[in-house]
Amino acid sequence: MPTENKADKIELNTNFDISVNTVKYFETLGIEILEYKDGTSVLKLPFNKKLTQPFGIMHGGALFSLADGACGLAILSTMKEVKPFVTVEMKINYLEPVNSGDTYAYAKVLREGRVVPIEVELKNSDKLVAKAISTYIILDSKK
């Protein structure tokens, strides 16, 4: 299990800072940021009955959000100067149902550049429950 990241605010440059443990969307879902550095990130989503579909299984949208958030923080960890970026596309394969415990997202930037491919694995009880690959684009901050 990863070590908790104790920093609650990281200043990335003079024009931008992020309160990494107070991202409102993450707060709504219960996603916790554990670490992000060197093109990787680890996030955690505890099981919550409010995030299940009618059969008591974690909704795919919640797991997708966990994966997407992990990708974004992995990209952020590579930036020397922060620029806006967005998801262009993301594909996820759900391999096992999640009906208890904590799910962890492990994201890794595959190549740095303006167009950034990232892979992410979601694990619950050390079992691979989903795998995703995504593409992000870094936007021109002057537009």
pLDDT at 16 exceeding the cut of 50: no
Of the two residues 140 and 102, the one the predictor is more confident about is 102
Q: pLDDT tens, 85-134?
A: 999 999 999 999 999 999 999 999 999 999 999 999 999 999 999 999 99
As a whole number, mean pLDDT of residues 68-91 equals 93
Please state which architecture CATH assigns to domain 10-138.
Roll (3.10)
What does the buried/exposed string (b/e) look like for 88-114 if buried means 16 or more CB atoms within 10 Å of the residue's CB?
eebebebeeebeeeebbbbbbbeeeee
pLDDT at 6 exceeding the cut of 70: no
Q: Is 53 helix (H, G, I), strand (E, B) or coil?
A: coil
Q: Are 45 and 84 in contact (CB under 8 A)?
A: no
Q: What is the pLDDT of residue 18?
A: 55
Q: pLDDT tens, 40-70?
A: 999 999 999 999 999 999 999 999 999 999 9
Q: Are 108 and 120 in contact (CB under 8 A)?
A: yes
